[in-house]
Structure formats: structure tokens, C-alpha cells
Amino acid sequence: MSNINVIIEERPANIGNFLVGRLLPFRGKRMVGPFIFIDHMGPALLKEHQNIDVGPHPHIGLSTLTYLFEGSIMHRDTLGTAVEIFPNQVNWMTAGKGIVHSERTPEYLRHSDKKLHGLQIWVALPKELEDMAPAFYHAEADEIPAWETDGVSYKLIAGEAFGHKSPVPVYSKLFLLEIKSPTTQTINIGDDLFGEAGLYILEGSIESEGNTYEPKRILVAQNSQLCQFTIHANTTIYLFGGEPFPEERFIYWNFVATSQAIIEQAKQDWKEDRFPSIEGETDLVPLPPEIPNVRMKS
């Protein structure tokens, strides 16, 4: 029996003036451990007249993680944070009961060609913490645990694994690992994993149980303890997951919660301007309209 339970292909999604590859949520697999949302941004070459301008928008009930491979993004939020995110840094924003942030091309790059490539990830908060005070943490590239085993490079972006712990302040038991190999290797890491596990192929390919899998897809394991595969030369993958929550999560736009009532309150609060504001920013992203159910004729 194959240990691959679900294969998730990237689907195009428009986030304003930028097209991304959406991976989670997926109709057949809403979450992997506490991970509830993953977008693959780029790789994109933006011309001098093209910029990222995601105006102030709210979040509740989750932590966002931005991890770039190329380019940079200027992050501002209602805690007063103003930081430019560069490749290999970790930008970790915990929304809790509510935060607003914006994401833009830095001012000094707005009139020149630039590249952008990376991952944007949401991690749901445990039920007892979904109403916590918002928080922000920024980790420099050299703060992230990195090591090499048998020529394979590992980097622990968040969580705990292989006896290492990332400084990123996560709120549940999880892991997010970058694995790179310049040569073809067999990797057996199931003993070091827990909960649910997903594997995202950024570049190159892997082989599992006689099948070869190429980029822009997530493979979700039936049993993380049986996680063994061959990583081909010049391949980069991201291994993520952790202990799933016992409760269902509802998601609408940028809101994640354990009840629909919390979602409805957040929607009303955004409509009525009850979230905090970012000083100097006024181009708020409006609440998207409800999409009515489409009923097929019998």
C-alpha cells in the first residue's frame, strides 16, 4: 500500500495584481497538522511599473509565515512593526484576536525591475490561544538552525525536529524543514516526524515507491512514521506538518476560527472599521463578497 495519501497540485490564484500557486487549503485535504494555508509566490520578474501592493487587511486565529527565496517585501502592521523581509529570513506574525498588516514592494525598488519568489504560509492557533494578543517575530537567516547529514542540507524554519528547535515562537507541536541535496540520496526520516506530514517539491524531483514526483505539488503521507523517499540531485523540498487539532477550523478570507460565529464577528468588525489601523495607510482591502452556492439542475 502506498504511503502517499493525497497529491495536491498548485492551482493559480489571483491576490490582486499578482498570480500565485495555491496549495492549501485543498478540497480533499483542508489542513496538514496545524498548517491551513500555503501559497507559492512566483518566481516572478516584476517590471519597473509592477509592484506588490497588498493594502491593510485583517487576520484572526492564525500565525502567518513569510519565507522568501528571492526579492523582498516591506511588512507593516498595527503593532507598529515596519520591517523589510529578505530571502532566508522568517517573518512570523501571530494574529490572535486580530491584527492588520500590509505587504508592499519596498520604496527603493518601486521604479526598477525586481524578482519575487517565496512561500506564504498560515498556521492555525490552538483553540485556547485563538483570542491571544497579536505578536510579531522576525528571525534573521543566521538564527535558523541548519546542518548537513550525508551531503544533504537541512534547515529548520519553524518548530522542532531532529533534535533541533527553531527560535520562531510557535504555539503548537509542528515542523517546517527545508531539505536540499546536490546528489541523489535515499532519505528515511520517519522516526523524527510526528503527527501529519506533507512534502512540497520546489525544484528537482523525488521518487517514492517507484513513482517520480516533480515540482509544484504537495505529497501528504498516510503515516509520517513511514516517510522514506529518494531525493534526486539538485532538488529542494519543504517538509511540514505536526499534530492536528481535535476541532474543525472554519476559514473565510483571512479569518481562521474554531466557530463560524467568530468568523461572522470578524467580518462585521472589518466592515465597521473596528480593527486597529496602520498609521499612514488608508487603502484598506475590502471584505470580499459572499459567493452564493451554485446549484446544478437535476
> Which grid coordinates belong to 10?
498548485
d(CA 157, CA 138): 12
CA 14, distance to chain mean position in Å, is: 16
Secondary structure (3-state) at 15: coil
Tell me: is residue 128 an annotated ligand-binding position: no
DSSP assigned state of 29: B
**Among candidates 123, 119, 124, which has minimal Cα distance to 216?**
119
Q: Is the peptide bond before 43 cis (omega within 30 degrees of 0)?
A: yes
Secondary structure (3-state) at 160: strand
Which of 79-99 are b and which e, b meaning 16 or more Cβ less than 10 Å from the residue's Cβ? bebeebbeebbbbbbbbbebb
d(CA 136, CA 168): 10
d(CA 178, CA 36): 18
**Among candidates 263, 144, 198, which has minimal Cα distance to 36?**
198
Tell me: is residue 101 an annotated ligand-binding position: yes
Alpha helices, DSSP H, located in the chain:
260-271
The 10 Å Cβ neighbour count of residue 179 is: 21
> Which grid coordinates belong to 125?
492557533
Residue numbers belonging to the annotated binding site for Fe cation = 57, 59, 101, 103
Residue numbers belonging to the annotated binding site = 57, 59, 101, 103
